[in-house]
Homo-oligomer: A and B are copies of this chain.
Amino acid sequence: MMRLSTPDYSTIDQTHSFLANYGGGEANVAVALEHMGHRTFFMSKLPPNQLGDGAITHLHSHNVDTRYVVRGSTTIGIYFLETGFGGRPSKVIYNRKHSAITRINENEFNFEEIFKDATWFHLSGITLALGDRVRKVALRAAKEAHKYGVPVSFDFNYRSKLWTVEEARPVYKEIMKYVDIVFASFYDANTILEIPLDDDFSGTTLAEKRLNVFPKAMKKYNLTYIFGTDRVVYTATDNSLAGYYYTMKNGKLECELTDPIRFNIYDRIGGGDAFASGVIHGLLKDYKNPAYAVRYGLATSVLKHTIYGDASTFSCEDIETFMAANGSAEVVR
């Protein structure tokens, strides 16, 4: 998907040019993981014109393998980003209806070839909102990955601008069958998946509510981990994030909410995808260590906010230096 952002914090009404880059949930995760040293493959459909070529060039420049990107149809998804500043929020205007990916087709992919040697499959909930054909391919891919024993991670990313909860609910419930690791909030589990709070629940914080609901979700859908973040928005350019994970260990809940990190934001888009990337990297290193994974995810996400573009391009060295520095940022010379 092409992103067109206003430069220099200008509004859409003011600007006479747009910065262009390419992104999209799964692509961002792929780019981030390439920079952490993994070999990644991207599945999608792009138009066979220069805008599609631009997206391919973006992926190639980050060394993502595009052999599973089908070329066809005519338009590319575009969204406009009016970059916020201080008390003025960023605004996203979607223009992705009828884009090439909505013309995707199951028989354009050889799932055996794709998954038989794969070590991970990641999917974003935004993709599920892009229409019947995308949905069908996505569910099929998750199912196939699951069949081949590939760990499947799924980021809820529910967007009310794209579909209603009622439309989304059955699809989210369906995808849960094939998923091992989930990036989700209390809202996702409670409202979308309809996992209820206990009748006698009296907690008030999100953390308390997650504690009540997540174990049930994990049991019901046989999930290994739920990851997520708590964000506090001080201003458009000053936020904090804390990461959490939940897992069942020998029938007992194990979970953690990290200390929050407060940070300045250069580009807010892709923070969630960066978190997912860091978590996936952590789990690929040590699948049994969610505490490490959540910290890796959090550091990757915070760092992503300091660069322009939808995806983290940090090396493991960068991320680990940041984790060690406790936020100090003296010039490296």
Which residues of chain A have a CB within 8 Å of any CB of chain B?
4, 7-21, 49-51, 53-54, 57-58, 60-63, 74-76, 78, 80, 82, 84-95, 97-98, 159, 161, 231, 233-238, 261, 263-266, 268-269, 302-303, 305-309, 313, 318, 322, 325, 327-333
Would A50 and B91 count as touching, CB distance under 8 A?
yes
| Alpha-carbon gap, A86 to B18, bound state (A) | 24
Set of chain B residues within 8 Å of A90, measured between Cβ atoms: 329, 331-332
User: Closest Cβ of chain B: how far from A46's Cβ, in Å?
Assistant: 13
Q: Is the CB of A331 within 8 A of B20?
A: no
A-B pairs with beta carbons under 8 Å apart, 15 shown: A9-B307, A9-B308, A11-B50, A11-B307, A15-B20, A17-B20, A18-B18, A57-B62, A58-B61, A84-B331, A86-B305, A88-B306, A89-B332, A233-B329, A236-B306
Residues in chain B near residue A237, CB distance under 8 A = 264
Residues of chain B within 8 A of A9, CB atoms compared: 266, 306-308
- For A75, the chain B residues whose CB sits under 8 A away are 95, 97
Min Cβ gap A110→B in Å is 21
Q: Do A329 and B14 form a contact, CB below 8 Å, given A235-B263, A306-B9?
A: no
Give the distance in Å from the alpha carbon of A269 to the alpha carbon of B333 in the complex: 11
In the complex, A328 Cα to B87 Cα: how many Å?
A: 7
Q: Are A332 and B12 CB-contacts (below 8 A) given A4-B4, A60-B61, A266-B86?
A: no
Q: How many copies does the complex hold?
A: 6
A20 touching B20 in the complex, CB below 8 Å, given contacts A61-B61, A85-B264, A308-B8: no
Among B86, B92, B159, B309, which residue has its beta carbon within 8 angstroms of that of A264? Answer: B86
Can you list the 9 inter-chain pairs with the closest CB atoms, starting with the nearest?
A: A61-B61, A86-B264, A92-B333, A236-B329, A88-B306, A89-B329, A12-B50, A85-B306, A91-B332
A13-B54, A88-B318 are known; give 19 further A-B pairs, CB within 8 A. Answer: A9-B308, A10-B307, A12-B50, A12-B51, A13-B50, A14-B307, A15-B20, A17-B17, A49-B93, A60-B62, A78-B78, A84-B306, A86-B305, A87-B303, A89-B332, A90-B329, A233-B329, A235-B329, A269-B331
Closest B-chain residue to A61, C-beta based? Answer: B61
Q: How far is the CB of A221 from chain B (nearest CB, A)?
A: 27
Quick check: B233 and A86 within 8 Å, CB to CB? no
